[in-house]
Amino acid sequence: MAGCIALIAHDEKKDDMAEFARQHQDALSRFRIIATGTTGGRVQDACPGLDVTRLKSGPLGGDQQIGAMIATGEVDMLLFFIDPLTALPHDVDVKALTRLATVYDIPMALNRATAEKLIDFQ
């Protein structure tokens, strides 16, 4: 297996993440996949053949769980489809997560266009 990818998507981007996973399920199947709760459920529905470990929902601690896994070296790539047009009550968690990905120098995509490029390199 190629490592671990973390998948997260804000509410307005969950359909986009599910479609991205459907289109790239062959590439994603080579990775261990972790995801925040609702995003993971949507990806599993779109791609029943993928093995997705679902953590807590982002606002209920899932973002922090993934952040801890980044800090311990368990995550090799973060695909986080952010909705820049919607206010987020857990914005502090989002900033902490992206900061950890930057500190630990893991590839991070915050939109589908970048995720397409990252997955093509795998």
Q: What is the pLDDT of residues 1-18, one digit of tens each?
A: 579 999 999 989 999 999
Residue 63 is a catalytic residue: yes
Q: How far apart are the first and last CA of the chain?
A: 11
- The answer to whether 16 touches 42, Cβ cutoff 8 Å, is no
Say which of 15, 26, 51, 63 is annotated catalytic. Answer: 63
Residue 121 has a pLDDT of 75
Mean pLDDT for all residues in the chain: 93
Provide the annotated binding site for substrate: 10, 14, 36-39, 57-58, 90
Provide the annotated binding site: 10, 14, 36-39, 57-58, 90
Concatenating the DSSP letter of every residue in 12-60 gives: GGHHHHHHHHHHTHHHHTTSEEEE-HHHHHHHHHH-TTS-EEE---GGG
Q: What is the pLDDT of residues 93-113, one digit of tens each?
A: 888 999 999 999 999 999 999
Quote the percentage of the chain above a pLDDT of 90.
Answer: 80
- The answer to whether 85 touches 13, Cβ cutoff 8 Å, is no
User: At 94, which amino acid appears?
Assistant: V
